[in-house]
Amino acid sequence: MEAYEIRGGRPLSGAVTIHGAKNSALPILAACACISGTCRIDNCPDIADVDTAIAILSHLGCRAWREGRAVLVDAAGLCRCDVPQVLMGGMRSSVLFLGALLTRCGSAELAAPGGCSLGCRPIDLHLWAAEALGASWWCEGERLLCRAGTMAGCRLELRCPSVGATENALLMALGCPGTTVIANAAREPEIADLVRFLRAMGARVTGEDTAELTVEGCAPLHGGDYLVMPDRMETATYLCAVAGCGGELLLRGARPETLEAVTDALSRAGCRLEREAGGLRAAAPPRLQPPGCVITRPYPGFPTDAQAPLMAAVIRAGGTTGFVETIFENRLRHAEQLCRLGADITQYGARAVVRGVRQLRSTELCATDLRCGAALVIGALQAEEVSRVTGIGHIRRGYEDLAAGLRGIGADIALTAEA
């Protein structure tokens, strides 16, 4: 096993290039299973979750391979509709193959999806959408089986703007005769990226960037090329790193318009953020001011994926910052680990109060999920002497060589054998 060894206490400076978005690439790769042709997905991040998606596509009978910054998928040979536990357990987004396989094969057999342990994340809304469109489902042991039956378009009123349920409903609706309207749909930029991909491949889908998506089903789909949007959560992570450590960064390829809730919070904390052609420049003072209470919300609210990195950024701020997590019940597990560095964090269920301290101490830390891992790295970068972060397999699920990116802007971080 491996770990990050981090010597903190240095400001960050320089430039980083933002990779393609994990949360956009994964649903797009799942959608490729709907298409009997070759899709070239450019700017596809080289991360563990993408490797898992490629493995699932290969298991289904597709040809899927990487060429440099692109992943190519030829789904003409797709010949099976089951995804085994060993592959489903690798990532949460594996559940999106439910919609893709229903559309392409008329049936799907899945195990429980994996990914980060963030508390109860049921797929009941996904299954409700499948039923509303005419499919049936049942469980056999640990397996979920779903059959298309006689599916037809309809109006789907989601009880909450779930990203995954919106994506699955989109993929299911592609194979449904008639018109499907997805109301109260998630508005995240990655949803819009999926819509644009589907439209580029021949789908008749409209309404991206709104809470109502319309799908004219059964349009003939074809292969083609598509460029994945930059990763706004990687952008948020680097912004929080420089905010916590101090310094100045140019984030090439960043799209600040997709991350305004985060940039607003950092501006309140004393960072200077300026849009530039092709990116975003961020400058941070040696010590932040508290940005006020941060409450996670569906887009365009403050994203749950940025909550942990921002908490790590403000543990040395000159005052008190509140956090309220409304999306996932176990999304504050990083708080206890940050306290090992000397942070002063009091947790009340899904709420946390961070009182800034002057100095942090080095220690051993263990990442329990993807964004927790990013937060621990940011915290360790602010601590004196050398800290170790284990559990970095979680980090590799969503960040393309985070250590190399941080070294390029002045961080002292190395990959070592885990003790």
Q: Which residues are annotated as catalytic?
A: 116
Q: How do 224-227 and 38-42 pair as beta strands?
A: parallel
Hey, what are 369's tokens? Answer: 């999920």
Whether a cis peptide bond, with omega within 30° of 0, leads into 11 is no
**SS3 at position 48:** helix
> Quick check: 227 and 21 in contact, CB under 8 A?
no
Please state, in angstroms and rounded to a whole number, the distance separating the CA atoms of residues 150 and 22.
Answer: 34
The burial of 139, by beta-carbon neighbours within 10 Å (0-12 exposed, 13-18 middle, 19 or more buried), is given as exposed
> Quick check: 173 and 133 in contact, CB under 8 A?
yes
Q: Which of 265, 286, 247, 163 is nearest to 213 (CA)?
A: 163
Q: How do 247-252 and 279-284 pair as beta strands?
A: antiparallel
Hey, what are 387's tokens? Answer: 């800290």
Q: Which of 163, 233, 270 is nearest to 18 (CA)?
A: 233
Please state, in angstroms and rounded to a whole number, the distance separating the CA atoms of residues 13 and 16.
Answer: 10
Where is 55: in which H helix or E strand? Answer: helix 48-59
Please state, in angstroms and rounded to a whole number, the distance separating the CA atoms of residues 263 and 273.
Answer: 7
